[in-house]
């Protein structure tokens, strides 16, 4: 299996290991496999009785053909072990007769990012060996919360790597801050930046573009790498849980083997829902994909009108991981449907004017699978409350955005098929907003909300978030954005 960039003809191809090591392709686009592997119903039947780790090794083996079966088995068993995902990696729960929840937040940081970030560092570590890389990969991350912690947990103590995370000092929740300040591991570093997320993000981008810093790092035997969701190493592992959920639904009798289902995904960067699309293209019986957005509904408009337009007001919402105006992985869908030339012209237009527009025929091709709905802040609060009152299911705000969209879809289209809704965060990561939405009272702070929410609902706090206030704080540094390059060099030259 070879990989190619989304914007140029496939003259330059790379292996999976190279794609994972490089991240972006040299044409400025994203890496995609040259052809899509298939999965048959007979293969799915074999997977029914297997563990999540075994299912993952099997599916990844179809894409990462330069990794041996043994390597993938070892990495998947390590990443999805019971100790990291107590009770199983991606359980499916029944909400009502038509609606099922795919819970993707049972990992070490209680966020869906764990599903990919537990395995990707292991794949990168092997990629370094496979490509003959002798230097250490320094993963630089600017985070508005969830990704930073999930990346720290994923990369901690992974051979050949170091990870450094920058977060805006006043731009993440108290719980998220504590999660990062108490991070364990020998190869990790965390610093707060005076400023907002953009300041942290621009600081990281400047370092990636700064030849002086990069050559200084090189002298220490270090090169920069990123952990963001456009890397194929993060996308491929996300295909697995859709196949796994299908297996579990067949086993539980929710569907028959071969029966079509629909999937609804709370969407930001379009990575999670695109993984579901790849599963469908491989042959998993999926009919429609419902793309759920919050008030930042650029994708709802795109899927309805064919116009992608980022020239709009940015809204800060209760579902911050979906506060995104450029959904990077959408490029991969354009490439699969319309080829590299058309993708390149859309991306040029997006860079130059902030918008592009599909032809009616192209829009029809997208709409054969995708439908977009959005849920505003009031709708999110109402959905959180109703889901608790009617179903006794405690959702987080991102999942509530998806449930709001799912209900609109079921109203418009009837409940013809079983609908699987991706649940992307533990409600306890957003305890303050969840508590406020359910009970109309305002907790004094985020930590108080954790206790109040569990006392009032009886739903247990996930282990990674329990006792967080009692952990040892390791990282208290607060720096200016212009001190970031020095901080990176200091950490890179640290010997452990």
Ligand X SMILES: *Cc1c(COP(=O)(O)O)cnc(C)c1O
Q: Which residues within the stretch 415-444 sit at the binding site for ligand X (CB under 6 A)?
A: 424-425
Three-state SS at 344: helix
Query: Among 148, 168, 171, 268, which residue interacts with ligand X (rule: CB under 6 A)?
Result: 268
Contacting range for ligand X; rule: CB under 6 A; set: 16-24, 85-93, 266-274, 434-442? 266-274
* 270 contributes a contact to ligand X by CB under 6 A: yes
CB of 4 to ligand X, least distance (A): 22
* 293 contributes a contact to ligand X by CB under 6 A: no
Three-state SS at 104: coil
Q: Which two tokens stand for residue 242?
A: 């859709």
* 398 contributes a contact to ligand X by CB under 6 A: yes
* 294 contributes a contact to ligand X by CB under 6 A: no
| Euclidean distance between CA atoms 437 and 383, whole angstroms | 9
CB of 120 to ligand X, least distance (A): 14
CB of 145 to ligand X, least distance (A): 8
Query: Among 321, 343, 369, 387, which residue interacts with ligand X (rule: CB under 6 A)?
Result: 321
CB of 427 to ligand X, least distance (A): 11
Q: How far is CA 76 from the centre of its chain?
A: 18
* 322 contributes a contact to ligand X by CB under 6 A: yes
Crossing angle of the two packed helices 197-209 and 484-493, in degrees rounded to 10: 60
* 144 contributes a contact to ligand X by CB under 6 A: no
| Euclidean distance between CA atoms 326 and 309, whole angstroms | 9
Q: Which two tokens stand for residue 218?
A: 């090189």
Q: Are 340 and 7 a contacting pair, CB within 8 Å?
A: yes
| Euclidean distance between CA atoms 286 and 283, whole angstroms | 8
| Residue (163 or 276) nearer to ligand X, CB | 276
| Residue (217 or 421) nearer to ligand X, CB | 421
Q: How far is CA 237 from the centre of its chain?
A: 10
Taking the CB of residue 329, how many other CB atoms lie within 10 A of it?
Answer: 21
Contacting range for ligand X; rule: CB under 6 A; set: 59-67, 172-180, 261-269, 338-346? 261-269
* 143 contributes a contact to ligand X by CB under 6 A: no
* 266 contributes a contact to ligand X by CB under 6 A: yes
What sections of 306-396 are H helices per DSSP? Answer: 330-353, 360-367, 377-391
* 296 contributes a contact to ligand X by CB under 6 A: no
418, β-bridge pairs: 261
Q: For the window 88-117, what string marks contact with ligand X as x by the rule CB under 6 A? A: -----------------------xxx----
| Residue (138 or 425) nearer to ligand X, CB | 425
Q: For the window 452-491, what string marks contact with ligand X as x by the rule CB under 6 A? A: ----------------------------------------
| Residue (116 or 128) nearer to ligand X, CB | 116
Q: Which two tokens stand for residue 30?
A: 């994203």
Three-state SS at 41: helix
Query: Among 164, 189, 267, 426, which residue interacts with ligand X (rule: CB under 6 A)?
Result: 267
- Minimal CA–CA distance to 432: which of 324, 325, 320, 323? 320
Q: Are 61 and 53 a contacting pair, CB within 8 Å?
A: no
Residue labelled with tokens 């709009």: 312
Contacting range for ligand X; rule: CB under 6 A; set: 40-48, 264-272, 304-312, 356-364? 264-272
CB of 221 to ligand X, least distance (A): 32
Q: Which residues within the stretch 348-377 sit at the binding site for ligand X (CB under 6 A)?
A: none
With CB under 6 A as the rule, give the number of residues binding ligand X.
Answer: 17
Task: Report how far apart, in Å, the C-alpha atoms of 373 and of each of 49, 313, 325 are.
Answer: 35, 18, 16
Q: Are 423 and 102 a contacting pair, CB within 8 Å?
A: yes
Q: Which residues bind ligand X (CB under 6 A)?
A: 111-113, 146, 229, 266-272, 321-322, 398, 424-425
């Amino acid at each position: 299996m070879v990989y190619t960039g989304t914007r140029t003809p496939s003259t330059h191809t790379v292996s999976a290991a190279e794609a994972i090591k490089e991240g972006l392709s040299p044409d400025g686009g994203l890496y995609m496999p040259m052809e899509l592997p298939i999965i048959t119903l007979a293969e799915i039947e074999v997977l029914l009785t297997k563990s999540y780790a075994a299912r993952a090794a099997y599916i990844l083996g179809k894409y990462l053909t330069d990794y041996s079966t043994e390597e993938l088995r070892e990495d998947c068993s390590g990443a999805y072990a019971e100790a990291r995902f107590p009770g199983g990696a991606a359980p499916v729960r029944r909400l009502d007769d038509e609606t099922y929840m795919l819970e993707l937040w049972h990992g070490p940081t209680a966020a869906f990012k764990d599903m990919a970030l537990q395995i990707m560092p292991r794949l990168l570590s092997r990629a370094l060996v496979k490509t003959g890389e002798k230097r250490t990969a320094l993963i630089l991350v600017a985070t508005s919360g969830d990704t930073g912690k999930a990346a720290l947990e994923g990369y901690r103590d992974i051979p050949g790597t170091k990870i450094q995370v920058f977060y805006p000092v006043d731009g993440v929740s108290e719980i998220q801050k504590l999660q990062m300040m108490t991070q364990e591991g020998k190869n990790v570093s965390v610093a707060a930046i005076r400023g907002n997320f953009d300041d942290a993000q621009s600081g990281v981008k400047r370092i990636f573009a700064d030849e002086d810093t990069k050559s200084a790092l090189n002298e220490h035997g270090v090169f920069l790498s990123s952990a963001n969701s456009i890397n194929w190493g993060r996308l491929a592992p996300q295909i697995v849980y859709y196949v796994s959920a299908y297996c579990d639904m067949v086993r539980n009798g929710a569907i028959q083997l071969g029966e079509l289902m629909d999937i609804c995904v709370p969407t930001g960067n379009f990575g999670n829902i695109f993984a579901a699309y790849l599963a469908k293209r491989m042959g998993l019986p999926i009919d429609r994909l419902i793309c759920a957005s919050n008030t930042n509904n650029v994708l709802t408009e795109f899927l309805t009108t064919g116009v992608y337009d980022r020239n709009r007001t940015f809204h800060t919402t209760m579902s911050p991981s979906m506060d995104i105006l450029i959904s990077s992985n959408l490029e991969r869908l354009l490439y699969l449907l319309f080829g590299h030339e058309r993708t390149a012209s859309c991306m040029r237009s997006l860079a130059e004017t902030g918008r592009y527009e599909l032809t009616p025929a192209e829009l029809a091709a997208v709409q054969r699978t995708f439908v977009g709905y959005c849920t505003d802040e009031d709708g999110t609060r109402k959905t959180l409350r109703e889901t608790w009152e009617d179903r006794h299911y405690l959702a987080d705000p991102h999942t509530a955005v998806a449930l709001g969209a799912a209900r609109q879809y079921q109203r418009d289209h009837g409940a013809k098929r079983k609908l699987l809704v991706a649940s992307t965060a533990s409600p306890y990561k957003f305890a303050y907003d969840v508590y406020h939405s359910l009970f109309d009272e305002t907790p004094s702070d985020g930590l108080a909300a954790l206790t109040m929410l569990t006392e009032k609902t009886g739903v247990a706090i996930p282990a990674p978030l329990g006792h967080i206030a009692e952990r040892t704080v390791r990282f208290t540094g607060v720096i200016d954005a212009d001190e970031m390059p020095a901080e990176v060099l200091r950490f890179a030259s640290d010997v452990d």
